[in-house]
Each structure stands twice: as structure tokens, then as C-alpha cells.
Copies of this chain bind each other. A is one copy, B any other.
Amino acid sequence: MSHNSEFAIGIDIGGTHISGAIVNQKGIIKPKKTIRFIKPPDGKQGLRLIKQLIKGLVRLSSRSIGQLKSVAGIGIACPGSVDFDKGIVLADSPNLVGWKGTNLKKPLEGTFRLPVFIDNDANLAAWGEKTFGAGKNTKNLICLTLGTGIGGGIIINNEIYRGSHFYAGEIGHIKVLPDGPLCSCRQRGCLESLASASAIIRNYKFFTSSQWAGINSAKTVFDKARRGDKTAKEIIKRANYYLGIAIASLINIFDPQMVILCGGLAQSGNILIKKVNQIVRQNIMPHHLREPHILSGKLGPDAGLLGASALVLKNYQ
């Protein structure tokens, strides 16, 4: 393995598609490729798709980056908890079932003769934003991925903090409302059950009765709110409130330099950030008032994939 390798292959596994890209040291994506599916694959099928994707990428890029030897390794962002040392998926996630126990590292290292790093997607979104995005030059930061679920990545002293058993960062499962709604984790009152896209959709359907079968994305609810729909406005207000409360707790606990909001919901832009910032300011301990830097991520849906690549390149600098 050359230590002068300039490129990494980054892979992001999602509930509707797997994306891959060849990424350079500056975070610039050379070719990107996506495989979409209707029915999510299980771990075994997923592994096959990842191999297929990497082979496709290498073919695509042979002209632009030359041989595989200029690639330092493969980084993979995966939903759920991952044993980072062994490269094994530790738990299924609601959108991706049948991956628990899948070893992604060993078979991919065998096939491609490259080092492979697998980590939780929110950890890697945080790492991507730190390396190439909103969190550059930040030592301690927290990243929330706001989508169907809510994930979290924690960077402490310039390292991803993975916890004692690779379960750290479950920010979506901070309790913000005792005895609140049932969450995907089977507990109650978690942030995810109150402020995720699925919570927003579920609440809108509930409060307007189920005739609104057309509501299948949080974006629709945001659009309705923008057009003055009172129920939609109230639901988003509440989601923002709980998100602000959770971030206030996180700032009181971690005293980070920055909190970055990534994922589909964060892309609803400044309105969200402004409101959440307001709630956080009203709820953190007064001495923190100096700088609760809450920002939108800069890498959009590529955060995980870029973080996965950055992890590879960091290990081969």
C-alpha cells in the first residue's frame, strides 16, 4: 500500500440506495455511482451490491485516476451500530433489516486487496463535515443527522467517539418528553419520536385525520406550513422545540465548539436553524450564551460518503 495514495473509495448505504464515489484528498468527488432499490437488500445481498458498485467505480475512473494502486482504501458508511475494529454490523436499523452480524470488512478486503473501514453513517457524516465541510478546524463537535430517524456523531479531541461497545452517539434517543410517543427503539419520548421526519409526517396525519394519504414526506408538511397551514406550523414548531431542548442538553453536557445539523430535514434551511438556535439560547446554561454555534452541514447527502473517504485518507496520510 502506497502512502502517497491520493484517492479513497467512499460508500454510503441507505434505505433506498447505495452510493459510492472516488474521492480525493480535498474531498472532491471524481465519479459517483448509485444503485437504487425498491426492496432494501439484506446484508448478504448488500455486500454483493457494494462489490458491484466498487467494480463499476473502478472501471469508470480508470481513465481519471489510473490504476487501483492510487486508491488508499475503501470507507463505508452504514446505518446502525458497527464494530469498527472488526467491520461487523452490530444491529439492524429500521430501514435496513438483515444486516446484523454481517462482516463487511473481511470479504471486501479479500476481493479488492485494499484496507476497508466501516463505521456508523452519522459518525461518518460528522467526520465528513469536520474534514471537508462546516466543521473544519473544529476539535469537538456534535453532528445530528435529521431524516427518517435521527442519528448522531460525536467528535472529541479530533477523533470520532465510538463509546465502549460502539454504541455511542444515539442522539436520536435522548429522552426529551417522559412518557412521550413510542419510538422506533421501542422506548418512549426519544427525540426521534418527536422531531424526525417520520414523527412530523405521523403527527400531521394524526391531527388532520388519515384522509391526507398524500403526505408521505416531511417536505410536504414544511411546504404546507410555509403556505400558512396552522396544523403544519404547530407540528413543525413542536419538532423544533424538542430538537432545541435536546441540543441544549448536548451543549450543557459536551461544551462543543459547534453543533452541525445534517440530513434531509436540515436541508429545509435557515428557517429551521434560526428557530432551533433561538430555543437553544433560551435553554442552555447562561455561560454558554457566548457561542452556541449551530450550523447546517455543507456536504448535503454526500456527508457520509465523504466522511467514509476521509477516514481512509486520514489513516494513510
Residue ranges of A at the interface with B (Cβ–Cβ < 8 Å)? 81, 90-91, 139-140, 152, 154, 156, 161-171, 173-178, 185-188, 241-242, 245-246, 248-250, 252-257, 282-288, 290
Contacts and interface: CB of A to CB of B under 8 A. Distances in A.
Q: What is the total number of copies of this protein in its complex?
A: 2
B178 A176 contact: yes
A102 to B, nearest CB: 16
Contact of A187 (B170, B283, B290): B283
Nearest to A257: B164
Contact of A178 (B168, B177, B286, B290): B177
Judged by DSSP, the binding face of A is loop
B170 A252 contact: yes
Given A176-B178, A178-B176, A178-B242, A152 B286 contact: no
A150 to B, nearest CB: 11
A282 B170 CA distance: 16
A170 B285 contact: yes
Nearest to A170: B252
Q: 5 nearest interchain CB pairs? A: A163-B255, A167-B255, A168-B255, A170-B252, A173-B252
A52 B248 CA distance: 41
Contacts of A188: 283
A160 to B, nearest CB: 12
A288 B169 CA distance: 13
6 contacts: A139-B164, A165-B290, A170-B253, A176-B178, A178-B241, A187-B248
B242 A163 contact: no
Given A168-B254, A175-B248, A250-B253, 4 more contacts: A154-B253, A171-B252, A185-B286, A188-B283
Given A175-B248, A248-B175, A187 B285 contact: yes
A274 B153 CA distance: 31
Contacts of A161: 156
A303 to B, nearest CB: 20
B253 A253 contact: yes
